[in-house]
Amino acid sequence: MVILRGSKAQITAQRIVGLPDLIAEVVSLGTANYDQRKKRDRYVAGGCKDWIAAPTTEWQDC
């Protein structure tokens, strides 16, 4: 995640309060549908400006 200077989100010692400016989601094959649909919709509804998700068309072992 990225929080830009001047963002509405605040970083405290315990947590981040508010929504980050950019969220990069590492999508796994088992949760790709949930990550790319439901989570994205929640972040966008909350005001996240950008969303990045890994493509699911090709999967390789690391």
Q: Tell me the pLDDT tens digit for each residue of 17-37.
A: 988 888 777 777 788 778 777
Q: Is residue 39 one of the residues assigned to a domain?
A: yes
Average pLDDT, the chain: 77
pLDDT score, position 14: 95
Tell me if 3 is assigned to some domain.
no
The answer to whether residue 2 is domain-embedded is no
Q: What is the pLDDT of residue 36?
A: 76
Determine, yes or no, domain membership for 4.
no
pTM over 0.75: no
Give the N- to C-terminal CA distance of the chain in Å, as an integer.
23
What residue numbers bound the domain in which 23 lies? Answer: 10-53
Burial 11-47 (b: 16+ CB within 10 A, else e): eeeeeeeebbbebebebeeeebeebbeebbeebeeee
Domain total in the chain: 1
What is the per-residue pLDDT for 53?
63
Question: Considering the domain boundaries, does residue 33 fall inside one?
Answer: yes
